Chain A
Amino acid sequence: MRRILIIDDEDDIREVAALSLEATAGWHVFTASSGAKGIELAIAELPDAILMDVMMPGVDGPTTFRNMQQNPAIANIPVLLLTAKVQGVDQRRFAGLGVAAILFKPFDPLTLAEQISEVLGWNEHPPVKPDPSTPAT
């Protein structure tokens, strides 16, 4: 099962994204309302991917992403930035950060998981399920 961390200061965005990923894809979702809390949760849970808002009060998404890159434990977790539709100059700026993808708000709750899977190539590489015939060690 995929494990996703959502970082967004907006309660309704977090809730809709979480229920969407849980209901449509069966993923396990963690949520955080700020970049600082998100980094703590990322270190504790080591999710498969992080979906993070760009505009947050205090520490914004791009700065949180740069802070994550400083921590080897979480630096390789793919991060998808979630933002309102932006001008070309902002798109280039976000793309230059080295994030895995930029997704746009408003997203469609019915297809969000599909969108994430597609940009991360998860459709080609589904998570490995434990073999029930193999005894646990």
Chain B
Amino acid sequence: MTDNANQEIETLLAELWQRHLPTLHSRLALLERAAKSASTGVLAETPREEALSIAHKLSGNLGMFGYQQAGDIASEIEQIFRVPTPEKLTQLTALIQKLRQTLATRL
């Protein structure tokens, strides 16, 4: 692969990231709402499924943009929504905050 192709991809990835930022913001907000609902250790099925789907998407695409650590945190969040336990559900708020902090300079 040429340096030009490499540079072209880096540039296009940066543009795509900017274009998809509003979607990312709404996804993080949805996760935060779900985490707030789950802070009692219980979460209804519909918001759980919705949050699971969003966390899955984030775990798949953040790493693709070069944010591997953020993708790993999203995977942790996904696992909690996939197999929720009262103890794990109460950890969600802290994990989502960590995810935001990891992406802070790019949001």
Separation of A125 and B44 alpha carbons in the complex (Å): 53
- By the criterion CB–CB under 8 Å, are B62 and A106 in contact? yes
- By the criterion CB–CB under 8 Å, are A20 and B9 in contact? yes
- By the criterion CB–CB under 8 Å, are B60 and A10 in contact? yes
From A11-19, A28-36, A68-76, give the one contacting chain B: A11-19
Separation of A79 and B56 alpha carbons in the complex (Å): 22
- By the criterion CB–CB under 8 Å, are B56 and A16 in contact? no
- By the criterion CB–CB under 8 Å, are B60 and A105 in contact? yes
How many residues of B sit at the interface, in one of the four size bands?
20 to 34
- By the criterion CB–CB under 8 Å, are A106 and B9 in contact? no
Contact with B along A76-88 (1 / 0, CB 8 A): 0000000011000
> A13's contact among B6, B12, B61, B68, by CB below 8 Å, is which?
B61
A2 CB to nearest chain B CB (Å): 15
B residues 54-76 touching A (CB-CB < 8 Å): 56-57, 59-65, 68, 71, 75
State whether the Cβ of B8 lies closer than 8 Å to any Cβ in chain A: yes
> B13's contact among A85, A105, A109, by CB below 8 Å, is which?
A109
B residues 1-42 touching A (CB-CB < 8 Å): 1, 5-6, 8-9, 12-13, 16, 20, 23
A residues 95-111 touching B (CB-CB < 8 Å): 105-110
- By the criterion CB–CB under 8 Å, are A16 and B13 in contact? yes
Q: Which residue of B lies closest to A9 (CB)?
A: B57
Separation of A60 and B87 alpha carbons in the complex (Å): 31
State whether the Cβ of A23 lies closer than 8 Å to any Cβ in chain B: yes
- By the criterion CB–CB under 8 Å, are A11 and B20 in contact? yes
- By the criterion CB–CB under 8 Å, are B1 and A110 in contact? yes
State whether the Cβ of A24 lies closer than 8 Å to any Cβ in chain B: yes
Separation of A105 and B12 alpha carbons in the complex (Å): 19
> Which B residues are within 8 Å of any A CB, using their own CB?
1, 5-6, 8-9, 12-13, 16, 20, 23, 53, 56-57, 59-65, 68, 71, 75, 78
> Which A residues are within 8 Å of any B CB, using their own CB?
10-13, 15-16, 19-20, 23-24, 55, 84-85, 105-110, 114
